[in-house]
């Protein structure tokens, strides 16, 4: 059965800190790894990763995939209170359905 595990499950930091969120996966016929941000509503897309070692960046957020070790990390630098949310990692297999982890709750304190 496909599985995605995220760690830590929750994190509290202060504004300006840098955080690293972890995601490991076991998915048959793996196609892609996706990160979403969820703030009390539907998930919003952040990144999709398909190739190992290629970093994707968007402002203060960046992510990378290691297909050999089957994990991905999401980095957030210079955190702001607006980054407080649940960060979901999901992996897709042959049928493109998303298998999600439980999510990481990030709280950024002023």
User: Which parts of this chain interact with another protein (CB under 8 A)?
Assistant: 4, 31-32, 34, 36, 41-45, 48, 88, 90, 92, 95-103
User: Residue 79 or 103: which CB sits closer to another protein?
Assistant: 103
User: Residue 19 or 47: which CB sits closer to another protein?
Assistant: 47
Min dist CB 39 to another protein, Å, is 12
User: Residue 17 or 62: which CB sits closer to another protein?
Assistant: 62
Q: How far apart are CA 60 and CA 104, in angstroms?
A: 18
Neighbouring CB atoms inside 10 A of 34's CB total 21
Min dist CB 89 to another protein, Å, is 8
Min dist CB 78 to another protein, Å, is 26
Q: What is the DSSP letter of 67?
A: T
Q: Name the residue among 60, 28, 30 with its Cα closest to residue 48.
A: 30
User: Using CA atoms in the order 108, 19, 80, 86, what is the torsion angle rounded to 10 degrees?
Assistant: -60
User: Residue 8 or 16: which CB sits closer to another protein?
Assistant: 8
Residue 88, both tokens: 């979901």
């Amino acid at each position: 059965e496909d599985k995605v595990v995220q760690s830590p499950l929750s994190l509290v930091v202060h504004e300006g800190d840098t955080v690293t969120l972890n995601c490991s996966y076991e998915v048959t016929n793996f196609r892609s790894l996706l990160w979403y941000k969820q703030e009390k509503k539907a998930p919003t897309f952040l990144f999709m990763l398909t190739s190992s070692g290629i970093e994707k960046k968007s402002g203060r957020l960046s992510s990378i995939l290691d297909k050999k070790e089957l994990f991905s990390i999401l980095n957030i630098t210079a955190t702001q209170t607006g980054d407080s949310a649940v960060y979901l990692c999901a992996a897709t297999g042959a049928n493109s359905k998303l298998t999600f982890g439980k999510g990481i709750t990030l709280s950024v304190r002023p």
